[in-house]
Amino acid sequence: MEDAVFQQFALILVCFLLFSLQCSFGADTIETPEKSNFKIDGKVFVTSSKDKDWVSNTRVLVEGGKYRGFLRNDGSFSVNGLPSGSFLVEIANPAFLFEPLRVDITSAGKMRARKVNLLQPTKLQTVQYPLEFRERAKASYFQQREQWRLTDFLFNPMVLTMVLPLLLIMVLPKMMNAADPETRKEMQQQMNVLNTKPNMPDMSEMITNYLSGGKKAVKSKASSKRKS
Amino acid sequence: MASFRITQTAIFLSIFFIVQGLYEDQAGTYDWKQDYVGKVTHVHWDTSSHGGSGKKLFVATHLNTVASLNSHDGSIAWRQVAEEDSRGRIDTLLYNGNYMIGVQAGGKFVRSWHTPTGNLHWETFLAADQDMIAPAIFLNEDKDSVLVATAGTLTCLKTSDGKTEWEAALPDGDTVQRWYLSLRANGDIAAVGVSPGLRVTVVTVGPGGKVKAPRKLPAQWVQSDTSCQAVAGEGFVCYTPDTSALQFLSIQDGQVFKATPMSELGFSATRDTSLGAVSTQPGVSSPLVLLRVSRTHMALLSVSPTGVSVLRDLPKVEAADVAYEGEAKVLLTVQRADPETVEFTGVELTSMTEQTDVSQRISILAGHGSIDKIFPMLFTKKKDGKLGAKVMMVAQDYSLHCAHKAGKAPWRREEALAYILSVEMVDLPVSENEAKFEDEFGSSKDDILAMLVKRIKVQVSQLHGFVEHLVQRLVGHRHHHSIVSKNDAGDADIDDDSDDDELVRDAFSLHKMIVAVTAAGKVYGMRSHNGKITWQHFFPDLAPFTGQGQEKLLLFVQRTTAHFPHAPQCAVIGVSRKTGNGLVFAFNPVTGAMVTDLPPAGLDLGYKVLQAQLMNDHPDENFLKGVLLVDSDVKVHFFPASMKSVVEREGRNMFVHLTNPESGLMKGYWLTPRGQELVAENVWNIDLQGNQQKVTGVYVKRSNEHVHSQGRVLGDRSVLYKYLNPNLVVVIGEGEEASASTVSKGPSGFFNVYLVDAVTGHIVFHENHKRTRGPVSVVHSENWVVYSFYSEKHRRCEVAVLELYEGKEQSNATAFSSLTPPFSPLVLRQSYIFPVPIARMFPTITEKGITSKNLIMVLKVGGVLSLPKALLDPRRPSIPSQETMEEGTIPYIPELPVSTENFINYNLSMFNVRGIHTAPAGLESTSLVLVYGLDIFYTQVMPSKMFDVLKEDFDYFFIAGVLAIMILVSVMSQKLAARKALKRAWQ
């Protein structure tokens, strides 16, 4: 959406550019100390909010608050008592974000508003004056908290990598069972070869022994009885 | 478009960084914000007909703020903050039902505010001198016109739309510094202008703007700050402290000032003697004026065309004013009844009888100093038709007290907290039990049995404490959070639920005591987790150091809480209002108890303090760190004085450096013993060319900072060692030069960055930035320096970083010595575009310095941004390669990302921020941040995420459930397997 707006703007801006080239400003105009009283007019629009609460907590900051403006009920503002120079005009509101604009005022009082381009400060993209600020977006200060969903869990790559070997372990032996005992023997032999350290005590075995220690004794008794 | 790119880069960077934002439900759990308005100068009670009167208070303050307060609890209904400098200063505030009119910056701006919402109604710009104070009055009772006197003009504006009705040129516009306006009985306007050191100009202006007969009277004694009042269009009264006399001039036909000595009136003048205006009804003038003889003595004077007479002597009275209701005209006075209460008295002025309905007693502790001003409002009670009074008071310590309803406790706003100058966060002491525990290990004299008994005792008491804690948890934990404390009769400073809030350290030492020193001379102790004030002290004589338009008060933690049984100690150093000498206070930062061996009014040092620093390396046998003070004759002193012997005994080299910002001269001194004295001997000088640039800041590293790693591992597994010089200081000199190029019109600014070794005076590094403008804010930490400035050439805010490295080999691995320094360090630098203007910067600090650092940046739009230092890394490559990937550096992008998700204050905008303070918590991951200015904001940041504790949203039930299921499954499967084995055995 933003892109579309940009393209529209760009078209309008090209027209503006042609005009503004005639009264080309040196990019280096610097505030002159002489006392002169210029003013910047503008209006702030917030279309997404119905109530007018935003007006009272919106501030107009010129040059980062060196000069400040206050909004009237209808959202318009004027910053009086400015010298000539180039000014960055920002709208500060805790709930909405606005694009800053730059206003150039010559010592003769000619005004020009343009977009702020930080990377190419000399590039000129004029916008209309009096300034119009429309909210660009709602300010999002917070992250979305992650919620636990079953599908998220199931399609997690970790889970998938776990499930596949599990399937292999469960299903393959079943398939093996169907085969004849000879191949099974062969398999067992292969397994024995793989198990290079047969004398190493198996950790899991030890734990199962430990956990079911009592039962084992009973079992062994039972088996000995059966023998006799 | 720029911000569009920001979002792009933000997305790009989020590949490298986990965005460290808050979750919405976390808002307010670790952070709090308190809003203030500043010292109140003008007050109007809401008298609009709808919704009952006296519900709101409209105030204008010394911090250029217009606000509306709810009168029942003191909360802010709305607030508008103007510019910080004289452009935003509020000279006069007039009130007219739904609108109020503020005159700002000497009449440059006349603004009308809509009182229910706080929106601007209209604004008129007048040609005016920003530095003078402009008066304004309503022309008549209907309040439809307002008169504003600027330097050369008297303007009449319509209150409905701000349009000019008429203008009248005032004489002596070039010399008059201040006009006094008052209405005459015949409807004329009397304007009296004061030209400091020259004369007084008297003009009467007719209702249509016709200037009549200006008179100029020589008056050499008059100054711009001379206390004067124009009374009822008849008389002009001034008080001259030199002759301690009242000067009276009749406006009608007076040709000379008539001096009346104070003694003639029966008073003796003091330092505080001044004149004060009496509130008037709009469009009507009153012939009364208040004379403050001293802080606790006032007098009501009556002014007639012939002279001044005392109408009523008001001994013991701290503040007084006249209030009106219908026909009644009541003089309200306030005086202290006892240390805990003040007494109100109302006197009907026409009959001079006491109005007992209005009189009441209100509890205000003597610790707030005397009452400076009262703003009363009279109303007729609906029940019985009797008069009632609501009173707002401003105390000497800037606190606001408001008795809004008879019989109810008044609320209080501690407005001094809008003037914080220095902050320290002090650990709370361990609990009594734990202290005993320490004690047990501490003593080695006891035999085994005694130790055993002790241990059992301690453990029983610990168990007892634990049970108590559990009971408390079950009963429920109360939280309340308001800056407006309702003080009940009695001691308001120790809060009601004190056992709930025992001053005991928590498990991770996240709760601290914030010690805040304010320009009002007030020192506060606040609990960091809820911002509640635990203790406060008001020192009426304490004033801040001033220089270069900045105010400073020094706060040192002389002994931390770690040295049980010694109590922690903090010292505040400022200037005495009485003598101008250094003034020292020392107190226990946890309890607020003053150190007993100092005088209660503070220790006057007897010399002017030029510099003071804490001697970190030289604690005495009681673990107390001394403060080294340098006086204006570059003599060295110590506080406490006994520290001198400690320094002499240890015999270590000490160096001091002083910088004169005006002359630009930096001097280094070495402290050497000469006879009995320690003398500062000049060892080096650096001339920073004060005629070309002003030294705007000298930045040292924080002394409590730890650097965990000595070097940095590069992609090829070699180590680049950091240049960690503890004596390195950063000096910033800002200046302007006449530009050589013809394109630019004015002079272009520049600034210089010097890295100076403070022991030897060696300039380690120097950088000049041309066509730039300050203010330069600097962060100096570890082996790096970050500074922000405004580039005039590119018209944008830029941030530069310098990192210093010794190289691949370390010259001295054990300790750094400035006297045998390594070869000149490798300085890596890079600069970035910062998309929004920066107000202040400060680095985070953690317990051991293992956690990576973030920069806390306060933006002028009101956000507080937490920016990872890794983004400000001069090793960020423009073309990433395998090796840089290995090193973990982020590819260079000219613009730094500013994402609103990194705003640690989310939507709580900060206004006019004066400073930032960070402190380590007991948890390595966490750093505590306090941002102060007009508002106070406190939060915790975790620059490397929370790596040492479980997240607070850790799902215990889920983990426990999974674990239970696993156990169940294993038991079941064992059973099944056993059965299967049995079956197989039978086969």
Res. B484 pLDDT band, cuts 50 70 90: very low
In sequence order, the 6+-apart residues with CB closer than 8 A to the CB of B92 are B42, B102, B103, B134, B135, B136
**Cα–Cα distance between B717 and B676 in angstroms, integer?**
55
| CB count in 10 Å sphere of residue B140 | 14
pLDDT, tens digit, 9 for 90 and up, residues A171-189: 877 776 655 677 777 777 8
Contact A143 B792 (CB under 8 A): no
Q: Per DSSP, what are the bridge partners of residue B859?
A: B838
| Domain span(s) for CATH 2.60.40.1120 in chain A | 38-138
Contact B2 A148 (CB under 8 A): no
Q: Which residue of A has its CA nearest to B862?
A: A92
Q: How confident is the model over B911-924, as a mean pLDDT?
A: 91
Q: How many CA atoms lie within 13 A of B936 on its CB side?
A: 31
Contact B88 A33 (CB under 8 A): no
Backbone phi, psi, residue B546, to 5°: -125, 145
Considering only CB atoms, A33 lies closest to which of B25, B121, B746, namely B746
Residue B892 has pLDDT above 70, yes or no: yes
Contact B2 A118 (CB under 8 A): yes
pLDDT, tens digit, 9 for 90 and up, residues B846-885: 988 888 999 999 999 889 999 999 999 999 998 888 888 8
Q: Which uninterrupted H or E stretch holds B970? A: helix B956-986
Contact B25 A97 (CB under 8 A): no
Contact B87 A121 (CB under 8 A): no
> Which chain A residues touch B835 with a CB distance below 8 Å?
118
Q: Which of A9, A13, A29, A30 to mutate to test the interface with B (most CBs of B within 10 A)?
A: A30
Residue B133 has pLDDT above 80, yes or no: yes
Q: Which of A29, A56, A152, A210 to mutate to test the interface with B (most CBs of B within 10 A)?
A: A56
Which among A227, A209, A215 has a CA at the least distance from the CA of B985?
Answer: A227
pLDDT, tens digit, 9 for 90 and up, residues B138-149: 887 777 888 888
Q: How confident is the model over B538-548, as a mean pLDDT?
A: 88
Q: How large a percentage of chain B has pLDDT more than 90?
A: 23
Residue A4 has pLDDT above 70, yes or no: no
> Which chain A residues touch B134 with a CB distance below 8 Å?
none
Q: Report the gap between the CA of B778 and the closest CA in chain A (Å).
A: 18
Q: How confident is the model over B682-694, as a mean pLDDT?
A: 88
pLDDT of residue B929: 94
Contact B117 A56 (CB under 8 A): yes
Considering only CB atoms, B792 lies closest to which of A30, A107, A140, namely A30
**Cα–Cα distance between B688 and B731 in angstroms, integer?**
10
Residue A9 has pLDDT above 70, yes or no: no
Higher pLDDT: B119 or B441? It is: B119
Contact B389, B358 (CB under 8 A): yes
Q: Report the gap between the CA of A161 and the closest CA in chain B (Å).
A: 19
Contact B901 A37 (CB under 8 A): no
Contact B119 A90 (CB under 8 A): no
> Which chain A residues touch B100 with a CB distance below 8 Å?
none
pLDDT of residue B505: 82
Which among B945, B943, B856 has a CA at the least distance from the CA of B903?
Answer: B856
- Strands of B245-250's sheet, edge to edge? B227-231, B235-240, B245-250, B258-261
In sequence order, the 6+-apart residues with CB closer than 8 A to the CB of B957 are none
Contact A143 B901 (CB under 8 A): yes
pLDDT of residue B440: 60
pTM above 0.95, yes or no: no
> Which chain A residues touch B125 with a CB distance below 8 Å?
37, 39, 80-81
Which residue intervals of B725-877 are DSSP H helices?
none
pLDDT, tens digit, 9 for 90 and up, residues B64-115: 999 999 888 889 999 999 988 888 899 999 888 888 999 998 888 999 998 8
pLDDT of residue B56: 86
Contact B1 A39 (CB under 8 A): no
**Cα–Cα distance between B869 and B512 in angstroms, integer?**
26
Interface of A with B in 142-181 (CB under 8 A): 142-145, 148
Contact B125 A81 (CB under 8 A): yes
Contact A102 B795 (CB under 8 A): yes
Contact B4 A119 (CB under 8 A): no
Q: Which residue of A has its CA nearest to B901?
A: A141
SS3 B53: coil
pLDDT, tens digit, 9 for 90 and up, residues B800-829: 999 999 888 887 777 788 787 777 889 999
**Cα–Cα distance between B664 and B694 in angstroms, integer?**
7
- Given CB atoms, is A118 within the 8 Å cutoff of chain B? yes
Residue B867 CA: distances (Å) to CA of B31, B513, B944: 18, 26, 11
Residue B757, both tokens: 């070794």
pLDDT of residue B268: 82
Q: How confident is the model over B377-391, as a mean pLDDT?
A: 80
Considering only CB atoms, B743 lies closest to which of A28, A61, A92, namely A28
pLDDT, tens digit, 9 for 90 and up, residues B316-369: 888 888 888 877 888 888 888 888 888 888 888 888 888 777 888 888 888 888
Contact A81 B123 (CB under 8 A): no
Contact B743 A26 (CB under 8 A): yes
**Cα–Cα distance between B366 and B361 in angstroms, integer?**
14
3-state secondary structure labels for all residues of B677-695: EEEEEEEEEEECCCCCEEE
Contact B83 A140 (CB under 8 A): no
Q: Which uninterrupted H or E stretch holds B189? A: strand B189-195
| Among A19-33, B520-534, B738-752, the range of highest mean pLDDT | B520-534
In chain B, the largest separation of any two C-alpha atoms, in whole Å, equals 134
**Cα–Cα distance between B688 and B662 in angstroms, integer?**
10
Q: State the DSSP code for B26.
A: G
Considering only CB atoms, B21 lies closest to which of A70, A121, A141, namely A141
> Which chain B residues touch A115 with a CB distance below 8 Å?
1-2
SS3 A23: coil
> Which chain A residues touch B27 with a CB distance below 8 Å?
142
Q: Which residue of A has its CA nearest to B837?
A: A64
- Given CB atoms, is A210 within the 8 Å cutoff of chain B? no
- Given CB atoms, is A219 within the 8 Å cutoff of chain B? no
pLDDT, tens digit, 9 for 90 and up, residues B385-427: 778 888 888 999 999 998 877 777 788 899 999 999 999 999 9
Q: State the DSSP code for B834.
A: E
Residue B886, both tokens: 């290995």
Which among B350, B318, B316 has a CA at the least distance from the CA of B331?
Answer: B350
Return mean pLDDT, chain A.
Answer: 73
Which residue has 């004329």 as its token pair? B188
Q: Which residue of B has its CA nearest to A69?
A: B82
SS3 B328: strand
Give the pairing type, strands B22-23 and A142-143: parallel
Contact B139, B158 (CB under 8 A): no
> For A38-138, which CATH superfamily applies?
Carboxypeptidase-like, regulatory domain (2.60.40.1120)
> Which chain A residues touch B17 with a CB distance below 8 Å?
none
Q: Which residue of B has its CA nearest to A37?
A: B127
In sequence order, the 6+-apart residues with CB closer than 8 A to the CB of A173 are none
Kindly indicate whether the ipTM for this predicted assembly is greater than 0.85, answering yes or no. Answer: no
- Given CB atoms, is A73 within the 8 Å cutoff of chain B? yes
Considering only CB atoms, B120 lies closest to which of A71, A119, A125, namely A71
pLDDT, tens digit, 9 for 90 and up, residues B717-771: 889 999 988 889 999 999 888 765 555 556 788 999 999 998 888 999 999 998 8
Contact A65 B958 (CB under 8 A): no
pLDDT, tens digit, 9 for 90 and up, residues B252-276: 777 788 888 888 888 888 888 888 8
Q: Which residue of A has its CA nearest to B902?
A: A141
How many residue pairs bridge chain A and chain B with CB atoms within 8 Å of each other? 154
| B32 Cα distance to chain centroid | 16
Residue A14 has pLDDT above 60, yes or no: no
> Which chain B residues touch A140 with a CB distance below 8 Å?
900-901
Q: How many CA atoms lie within 13 A of B172 on its CB side?
A: 22
Higher pLDDT: B798 or B622? It is: B798
pLDDT of residue B193: 86
Residue B950 has pLDDT above 70, yes or no: yes
Contact A118 B80 (CB under 8 A): no
- Given CB atoms, is A26 within the 8 Å cutoff of chain B? yes
Higher pLDDT: A209 or A89? It is: A89
| CB count in 10 Å sphere of residue B116 | 17
Residue A24 has pLDDT above 60, yes or no: no
Res. B429 pLDDT band, cuts 50 70 90: confident
Res. A26 pLDDT band, cuts 50 70 90: very low
Q: Which residue of A has its CA nearest to B108?
A: A81
| CB count in 10 Å sphere of residue B213 | 8
Res. A225 pLDDT band, cuts 50 70 90: very low
Res. B494 pLDDT band, cuts 50 70 90: very low
- Given CB atoms, is A74 within the 8 Å cutoff of chain B? no
Q: Report the gap between the CA of B935 and the closest CA in chain A (Å).
A: 15
SS3 A203: helix
Residue B710, both tokens: 């000595």
Interface of A with B in 77-106 (CB under 8 A): 77-78, 80-81, 86, 88, 90, 92, 94-95, 97, 99-100, 102
Res. B52 pLDDT band, cuts 50 70 90: low
Residue A166 has pLDDT above 70, yes or no: yes
**Cα–Cα distance between B619 and B615 in angstroms, integer?**
8
